[in-house]
């Protein structure tokens, strides 16, 4: 929980840097990143899939996003998760043999290796591009950009509030855990820990309903009548159009040329 | 359970979005109608609760840990429609800001966890809890079973989405382009982990929260968001689901081979079909000749659309769909006929014998 809170705070710092993606209009940047992620999903060739991984790295450098941060938050977790899932495919997918592992005698097949590299490459590229979007854009702006792209207003309003209360609840949960730890004298048994966690979740649910009621009354008191208005005014520049145009051209190339 | 980007093909993602869309639409419309100005604050905080719940790591018997999804407790406390919106929002936040689950696969993740999971949990809980008292143990057990089964049903849906990928999407060399494992690998692999670990976490958390609320605030187990006051299946809702299933009926064409035991008399004379029968029967060879009883009975009735393929249609997929429409139509006609028959002898409202 603490790691997630720390990541979120660091993201705000990176979003304030004067990098390439930070200077782009959030609407165009969000649309461009979504188009690029769809392009990755559509790509069929190994070279094109891994080119998107490279593109993500280039965009990260241009946007002053530390590559270490990209590695810690996207590359390594994806490699650990998807790599583990893709590993058996090297031996299980039938096809011409490429190599035989010493000692075990397991045969690595050509389609198996190709399939594994495609899966890992796609997951790496998509995770990297999605991470770049949220690291270079203040989170409320991402949600507002989704609204500009056609997501209904009640949904974006709920997303904004959900995102805000997540951190409030994470803090509450961490406080409850700390308070509990400070009152026990010995390690708890598994059953006792399960009871403690279930009770904490129950308390959190009760609090969330109370908070929802209080927030609603406060909103009504301030004149809320069920509609949300945004004061944000964005002005697009040629560079924003260029970014989106390049992303759409890449998608068209991937689909049209079967890349 | 959170499917990342890159595991499912764009067309699979599009289909899952298309299936999820009507549920999101109906759920938000019902909530908007019943909650009005409360919609945004109430659903937002509950959604944040669902998000945080997914981060609670529970110690499981055996020394390992696992985390729940919260679909069981959300569906029980809020009802399925509110749970759909709350869990979908939590999943979107996870995908957008925390990299848990993909953006292209958000439709699939919502379909599995928010929609299928919520309805499964709610249905099983309602069925098992029955009319028992709010503070009875039966409710705790029902909640635990509902959470356990719901997460496994959701995992099965994810496994099927994974498993159809290599059948449908591969390159010229046969290399799978997306998730590489067929159903025979994906289903046991997904269900193994969920039956053994994640299911236990969901069961313990769901039952634990219900037990806690029974002691601290039982009224929460009685009330539900107004949108779910009528959470039973409406005729329109049922019609929508049946409609989606009918349109999706050509998916049956993906299945390779024949169903075990559903062989026709002609299959015993066809070498390819004989090999398929032997393969499906632990390599036990089928009888050399057609069994006499099967031969005799198979000629008693000839179906108008054998193998769901009307002779006048060239497209197999259209044949499947037409068969689905005709089948559903015949069932509705039979139901109406039986209803009319049974209501003949009954007095109408307001009429007394």
Q: How far is CA B73 from CA A85, A106, A154, B38, in A?
A: 30, 45, 24, 21
The two beta strands, A107-109 and B57-59, are: unpaired
Q: How far apart are CA A24 and CA A31, in angstroms?
A: 11
Total domains in chain A come to 1
CB B230 within 8 A of CB B33: no
pLDDT digits (tens, 9 = 90+) for B68-114: 888 898 899 888 998 999 999 989 988 888 888 889 999 999 999 99
The lowest-confidence range among A72-86, A208-222, B29-43, B85-99 is B29-43
The answer to whether residue A199 sits within a structural domain is no
Q: How far apart are CA A161 and CA B42, in angstroms?
A: 10
Q: How far apart are CA B6 and CA A89, in angstroms?
A: 15
pLDDT category of residue B127 using cuts at 50, 70 and 90: very high
Contact check, Cβ <8 Å, B45/A173: no
More confident residue, B5 or B255: B5
Q: What is the pTM of this model?
A: 0.75
Query: Per DSSP, what are the bridge partners of residue B59?
Result: B65
Of A82, A83, A84, A87, give the one whose Cα is nearest residue A112: A87
Q: Nearest residue of B to residue A170 by CA position?
A: B52
The lowest-confidence range among A27-31, B223-227, B294-298 is B223-227
Q: Nearest residue of A to residue B178 by CA position?
A: A119
The answer to whether residue A184 sits within a structural domain is no
Q: How far apart are CA B244 and CA B246, in angstroms?
A: 5
How far is the first Cα of chain A from the last one, in angstroms, to the nearest whole number? 40
Identify the pLDDT of residue A228.
66
Q: Nearest residue of A to residue B210 by CA position?
A: A202
- Which positions in chain B touch A74 (Cβ < 8 Å)? 99
CB A153 within 8 A of CB B32: no
Domain that holds residue A130: 2-148+239-256
The answer to whether residue A207 sits within a structural domain is no
- Best of A11, A166, A255 to disrupt the B interface (most B CBs within 10 Å) is A166
The answer to whether residue A174 sits within a structural domain is no
pLDDT category of residue B42 using cuts at 50, 70 and 90: confident
Q: What is the mean pLDDT of residues A228-232?
A: 67
Q: 3-state DSSP call for residue B57?
A: strand
Nearest-CA distance B314 → chain A (Å): 29
> Which percentage of chain B shows pLDDT scores above 90?
26
- Which positions in chain A touch B28 (Cβ < 8 Å)? 152, 154-155
CB A190 within 8 A of CB B61: yes
The lowest-confidence range among A79-93, B231-245, B321-335 is B231-245
Q: In this model, does residue B17 exceed pLDDT 70? A: yes
Q: How far apart are CA A14 and CA A20, in angstroms?
A: 12
The lowest-confidence range among B46-55, B218-227, B268-277 is B218-227
CB B124 within 8 A of CB B142: yes
- Which positions in chain A touch B103 (Cβ < 8 Å)? 34, 37, 126, 130
Q: How far apart are CA A200 and CA A75, in angstroms?
A: 33
Q: How far apart are CA A30 and CA A27, in angstroms?
A: 5
Q: In this model, does residue B232 exceed pLDDT 50? A: no
Nearest-CA distance B42 → chain A (Å): 5
CB A159 within 8 A of CB B89: yes
Identify the pLDDT of residue B351.
46
Domains and CATH numbers, chain B: 10-225 (1.10.1760.20), 233-261+303-345 (no CATH), 263-301 (no CATH)
The answer to whether residue A223 sits within a structural domain is no
Q: Which residues, at least 6 apart from B172, have a Cβ–Cβ distance to it below 8 Å?
A: none
Identify the pLDDT of residue B349.
46
Q: 3-state DSSP call for residue B288?
A: coil
The answer to whether residue A206 sits within a structural domain is no
Identify the pLDDT of residue B196.
83
Q: Nearest residue of A to residue B208 by CA position?
A: A198
Contact check, Cβ <8 Å, A89/B180: yes
Identify the pLDDT of residue B225.
45
The answer to whether residue A89 sits within a structural domain is yes
Which residue's entry shows tokens 């909530």? B31
Q: DSSP states of B53-119 as a string? A: HTT-EEE-TTS-EEE--SHHHHHHHH-HHHHHHHHHHHHHHIIIII-SS-STTHHHHIIIIIIIHHH
CB A57 within 8 A of CB A67: yes
- Angle between helix axes A153-181 and A139-148 (nearest 10 degrees) is 160
Q: Nearest residue of B to residue A135 by CA position?
A: B97
User: b/e string for A179-210 if b means 16 or more Cβ within 10 A?
Assistant: eeeeeeeeeeeeeebbbbbbbbbbbbbbbbbe
The answer to whether residue A141 sits within a structural domain is yes
- Strand boundaries in chain B, DSSP class E: 57-59, 65-67
- Which positions in chain B touch A198 (Cβ < 8 Å)? 204-205, 207-209, 211-212
H-helix or E-strand spanning residue A108: strand A107-109
Identify the pLDDT of residue A162.
86
pLDDT category of residue A157 using cuts at 50, 70 and 90: confident
Q: What is the mean pLDDT of residues B288-304?
A: 69
Retrieve residue B44's tokens.
Answer: 């937002």
Residue of A4, A38, A164 lying closest to B10 (CB–CB) = A38
Q: Provide the ipTM.
A: 0.84
What is the number of helices (H) and of strands (E) in chain A? 11, 2
Nearest-CA distance B58 → chain A (Å): 6
Q: What is the mean pLDDT of residues A114-127?
A: 93
Q: 3-state DSSP call for residue A99?
A: strand
Identify the pLDDT of residue B260.
54
H-helix or E-strand spanning residue B304: none
Contact check, Cβ <8 Å, B97/A74: no
B150 burial via Cβ count (<10 Å: 0-12, 13-18, 19+): buried
- Best of A158, A204, A223 to disrupt the B interface (most B CBs within 10 Å) is A158
pLDDT digits (tens, 9 = 90+) for A43-101: 999 999 999 999 999 999 999 999 998 998 889 988 888 888 888 889 888 888 888 88
pLDDT category of residue B229 using cuts at 50, 70 and 90: very low
Nearest-CA distance A186 → chain B (Å): 17
Q: In this model, does residue B150 exceed pLDDT 90? A: yes
Q: 3-state DSSP call for residue B315?
A: coil
Identify the pLDDT of residue A215.
84
pLDDT digits (tens, 9 = 90+) for B239-287: 665 666 666 666 655 555 555 555 667 777 788 777 776 765 556 677 7
Q: Nearest residue of B to residue A111 by CA position?
A: B175
- Which positions in chain B touch A154 (Cβ < 8 Å)? 28, 32, 39-40
The two beta strands, A97-100 and A107-109, are: antiparallel
Q: Nearest residue of A to residue B174 by CA position?
A: A111
- CA angle, residues B247, B252, B254, in degrees to nearest 5: 120
- Which positions in chain A touch B95 (Cβ < 8 Å)? 130
Contact check, Cβ <8 Å, A42/B56: no
Q: 3-state DSSP call for residue A100?
A: strand
């Amino acid at each position: 929980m603490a790691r997630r809170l720390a990541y979120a705070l660091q993201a705000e710092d990176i979003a304030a840097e004067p990098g390439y993606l930070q200077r782009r209009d959030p609407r165009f940047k969000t649309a461009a990143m979504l188009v690029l992620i769809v392009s990755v999903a559509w790509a069929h060739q190994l070279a094109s899939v891994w080119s998107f991984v490279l593109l993500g790295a280039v965009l990260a450098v241009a946007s002053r996003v530390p590559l270490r941060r990209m590695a810690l938050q996207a590359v390594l977790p994806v490699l650990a998760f998807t790599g583990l899932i893709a590993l058996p495919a090297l031996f299980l997918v039938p096809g011409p043999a490429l190599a035989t592992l010493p000692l075990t005698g397991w045969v690595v097949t050509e389609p198996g290796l190709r399939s594994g590299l495609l899966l890992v490459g796609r997951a790496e590229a998509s995770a990297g591009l999605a991470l770049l979007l949220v690291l270079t854009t203040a989170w409320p702006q991402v949600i507002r950009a989704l609204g500009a792209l056609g997501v209904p207003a009640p949904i974006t309003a709920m997303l904004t509030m959900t995102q805000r209360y997540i951190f409030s609840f994470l803090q509450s949960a961490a406080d409850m855990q700390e308070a509990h730890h400070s009152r026990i004298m010995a390690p708890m048994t598994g059953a006792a820990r399960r009871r403690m966690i279930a009770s904490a979740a129950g308390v959190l649910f009760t609090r969330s309903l109370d908070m929802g009621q209080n927030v609603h009354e406060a909103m009504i008191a301030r004149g809320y009548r069920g509609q949300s208005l945004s004061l944000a005014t964005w002005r697009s520049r040629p560079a924003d159009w260029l970014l989106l145009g390049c992303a759409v051209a890449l998608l068209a190339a991937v689909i049209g040329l079967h890349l | 359970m959170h499917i990342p980007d890159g595991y499912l093909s764009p067309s699979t993602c599009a289909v899952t979005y298309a299936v999820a869309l009507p549920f999101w639409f109906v759920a938000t419309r019902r909530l908007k109608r019943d909650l009005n100005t409360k919609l945004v604050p109430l659903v937002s905080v509950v959604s944040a609760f669902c998000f945080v719940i997914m981060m609670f790591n529970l110690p499981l018997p055996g020394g390992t840990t696992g985390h729940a999804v919260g679909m069981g407790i959300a569906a029980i406390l809020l009802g399925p429609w509110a749970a759909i919106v709350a869990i979908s929002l939590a999943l979107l936040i996870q995908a957008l800001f925390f990299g848990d689950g993909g953006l292209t696969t958000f439709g699939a993740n919502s379909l599995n966890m928010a929609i299928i999971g919520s309805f499964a949990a709610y249905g099983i809980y309602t069925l098992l809890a029955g009319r028992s008292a709010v503070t009875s143990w039966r409710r705790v057990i029902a909640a635990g079973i509902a959470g356990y089964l719901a997460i496994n049903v959701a995992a099965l849906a994810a496994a099927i989405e994974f498993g159809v990928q290599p059948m449908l999407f591969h390159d010229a060399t046969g290399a799978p382009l997306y998730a590489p494992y067929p159903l025979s690998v994906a289903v046991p692999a997904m269900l193994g982990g969920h039956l053994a670990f994640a299911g236990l976490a969901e069961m313990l958390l769901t039952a634990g929260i219900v037990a806690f609320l029974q002691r601290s605030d039982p009224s929460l187990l009685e009330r539900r968001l107004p949108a779910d006051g009528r959470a039973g299946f409406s005729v329109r809702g049922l019609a929508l689901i049946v409609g989606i299933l009918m349109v999706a009926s050509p998916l049956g064409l993906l299945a390779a081979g024949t169903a075990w035991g559903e062989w026709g008399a002609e299959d015993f004379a066809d070498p390819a079909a004989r090999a398929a029968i032997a393969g499906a029967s632990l390599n036990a060879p089928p009888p050399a000749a057609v069994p006499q009883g099967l031969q005799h009975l198979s000629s008693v009735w000839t179906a108008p659309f054998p193998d769901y393929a009307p002779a006048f249609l060239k497209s197999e997929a259209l044949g499947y769909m037409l068969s689905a429409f005709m089948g559903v139509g015949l069932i509705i006609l039979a139901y109406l006929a039986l209803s009319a028959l049974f209501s003949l002898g009954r007095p109408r409202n307001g009429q007394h014998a």
